[in-house]
Amino acid sequence: MISVSHLTRRFGDFTALDDVSFEVAKGEVVGFLGPNGAGKTTTLRILAGYLPATSGTVRVAGFDVLRQSIEVRRRIGYLPEAVPLYREHRVVEMLEFQARLHGLSRDDTKRRIGEVLEKVGLTDRRRDLVGHLSRGLRQRAGLAVALLPNPEVLILDEPTSGLDPLQRIEVRALIQQLTTRHTVILSSHILPEIEATCPRVLIVHEGRLVADGTHAQLVRSHGSESHVRVEAVVGADVESARRLLGAIAGVRAVHDRGRLGIHHQFDIVCDEDLREDVGALAAAKKWALRELSWRRPTLEQLFSQIATGAGLATPSAARGESPSASASSVAHPSLALASKALASTGLSSAPETSTAQASPTLPVSARPAKVVYNLNPFDMGASRDLGRPKSVEGPTPSASEQRERESGEV
Amino acid sequence: MRGLLAIYRREMAGLFFGPLAWVLLALVFLLNGYLFVLYLKSSGGNVDTAVRLSLGDSWAFWVLLILVPPLLTMRMVSEESKSGLLEFLLTAPISDASVIVGKFLAATTFLALMWSAVFVYAGALSTLGAAPDTGVLIGGWIGAVLASALFSAVGLLASALTNTPVLAAFGAVLMNLVIVIAPLLSNLSDDPVFQRAIRHIDVIDHHTNSFLLGLFDTSYAVFFVAWTVLFLFLTVRALETRRWA
């Protein structure tokens, strides 16, 4: 339905989009994800035929966006972020205007207006002035306008921006209804939203397409693994406990996350949820369990990894996820720069704690491991690695020193 | 064509939904009526002269033509560009030209309505037994509408060049002023080529020496149409540069 190949767009010296290629099949729902300024809106505007591309071709429903622009525009419903509607008109007048622009017949107009108003739930507000509608209602009116000609492709630019949480849920539900009949491309920087509505995700960062696939595919291809986190008292023989856990069917690897007080923490890498098997093993071995959880990287973690390298992982995830994350960012050469830039700003050093370097199973960089205790004063030493406090060389470096040193090394 | 009509209807509605159109109409009708009475008096009761004065042979007419069209057109592109409505129109299945021409026709229709006040005066006079010459009346009105069309096109161009309506109005007034007073340059030189060139841009002359005499000369009509089309063409180009910038 949509085919974009080698799309590049420059604004003067600034390259907003750099060699972006993707395909969207009929009936697919695609989420366009990226931080502000990544090039989402530019891409959508090019798809809608508002902006011409500097180079590359874009085809919608088989028509070239630049050369057969009118044919393309007949087939798309485009809702820009600003939700442009004439404020001095009533909702139904705005819809009539759109119907006239698309050349619908009088009967079609009447029927479609009834249908779309019903769909977005504005039937009782049809006579209201657009200027008097609240932001959420205006969003729905905009959606009604975009839907009116029954377009094959629906392009929604940040359909939930500026809405309160309740309105956001409403609009999201509305979009989900639409996905059965239209090919939908929507952009957002709100990740849970994309995760909830779009099976397929495209991630753009600084004008480049850095990831494309379903959530599961992205998780698989970008190195972060789903795992079972288990925290238990396993006694002195940690190594045999590790071997036992590794022997469970379906386990791909066991990472020793070190000792937390009397408990020992393991991450058991596996594709399926193996909590029951691990629990059964713990029961058989009489290990006192403190935590047993199934962790899958969320799109949010994935996104921050992809966009910035390991740096911005959420604090709760930083301890467990950051080692694999840093590994993946190294494996992904196009992202090395981003993570480097981030490290030099000192952002990445803050959430990283000793456990990141201390894990024996991980590819640690060549420099000697430095143990830095968690800098969170409210942590009460919970993440302290009691097993290896002595590996610190000299006095524990302060936070600022640590930051300097890291940026120097990068 | 279908899109052009849709845009035209929307713009007419937009004009008359706002207060500006009504305020302008009221002021201009008031001023024109008052001036018409003055013209009648000063011409010693010559009805044709009064019609001629009120439809083009006076400074008041040209001042109105310089000031009113920019006020109508200033918001038509610039404000829509700011509010994102332009993005909506330019992704609708209609050509850029029909967006501009639709808006242009709306502004011209409004100005045509504004000038038709003379028909009321003429009607009133003919019931009193002093009907003005129909040729002068209709010719003058057509000329006034053609001149208004030209100035509307200039206003749209100014509107398409900026995102600020006030700036658009200011720019349009300046451009209109230049168009109206440019013929004064003819005093600079007696060179015949220069004189001819000046004659080809003299808007006042083209209006007063043909339409106001009750004469519909196609070459004079073509003069207005050609300049109008040129400015509309430039406006469409200006709109297109927005896509690239």
Q: Which residues contact A1 (CB under 8 A, 6 or more apart)?
A: A24, A25, A26, A27, A28, A60, A61, A152, A153, A183
B41 touching A (Cβ < 8 Å)? no
Position A310 scores a pLDDT of 40
Testing the interface with A: which of B76, B77, B91, B103 to mutate, by most A Cβ within 10 A? B91
Number of C-beta neighbours around residue A408 at 10 A = 8
Position A181 scores a pLDDT of 82
Position A255 scores a pLDDT of 85
CA distance B7 to chain A (A): 8
Summarised one tens digit per residue, pLDDT across range A115-126 is: 999 888 889 998
CA–CA separation, A43 and A52 (whole Å): 10
Which residue of B14, B83, B95 is in closest CB contact with A82? B83
Decide if B87 and A84 are in contact by the 8 Å CB cutoff: yes
Complex prediction ipTM: 0.89
CA distance A82 to chain B (A): 6
Decide if A88 and B14 are in contact by the 8 Å CB cutoff: yes
Decide if B14 and A102 are in contact by the 8 Å CB cutoff: no
CA B185 distance to own-chain centroid:
23
CA distance A46 to chain B (A): 10
Position A315 scores a pLDDT of 33
Position A378 scores a pLDDT of 60
Summarised one tens digit per residue, pLDDT across range B16-63 is: 988 999 999 999 999 999 999 999 999 888 888 999 999 988 899 999
Q: Which two tokens stand for residue A318?
A: 């930083």
Set of chain B residues whose Cβ sits within 8 Å of the Cβ of A147: none
CA distance B157 to chain A (A): 20
Set of chain B residues whose Cβ sits within 8 Å of the Cβ of A98: 92
Query: B245: pLDDT confidence band, cut at 50, 70 and 90?
Result: low
Instruction: Pick the closest to residue A111 from A157, A155, A63, A148 (CA basis).
Output: A148
Decide if B6 and A74 are in contact by the 8 Å CB cutoff: no
Position A198 scores a pLDDT of 84
Decide if B2 and A82 are in contact by the 8 Å CB cutoff: no
B78 pLDDT higher than 50 = yes
Position A400 scores a pLDDT of 52
Position A273 scores a pLDDT of 79
The stretch B197-212 carries a mean pLDDT of 86
Position A367 scores a pLDDT of 46
B22 touching A (Cβ < 8 Å)? no
CA–CA separation, A292 and B136 (whole Å): 96
Which helix (H) or strand (E) segment holds residue A144: the answer is helix A135-147
Position A390 scores a pLDDT of 42
CA–CA separation, A333 and A340 (whole Å): 11
Which residue of B17, B88, B95 is in closest CB contact with A88? B17
Segments of chain A scoring below 50 in pLDDT: 310-371, 388-397, 409-410
Q: Which amino acid is at B154?
A: V
Q: Which three-class secondary structure state does DSSP give residue A261?
A: coil
Summarised one tens digit per residue, pLDDT across range A47-67 is: 998 888 889 999 998 899 888
Position A351 scores a pLDDT of 40
Read out DSSP for A97-143? HHHHHTT--HHHHHHHHHHHHHHHT-GGGTTSBGGGS-HHHHHHHHH
Set of chain B residues whose Cβ sits within 8 Å of the Cβ of A46: none
Summarised one tens digit per residue, pLDDT across range B97-126 is: 999 999 999 999 999 999 999 999 999 999
Lowest average pLDDT, out of A287-291, A337-341, B180-184, B187-191, goes to: A337-341
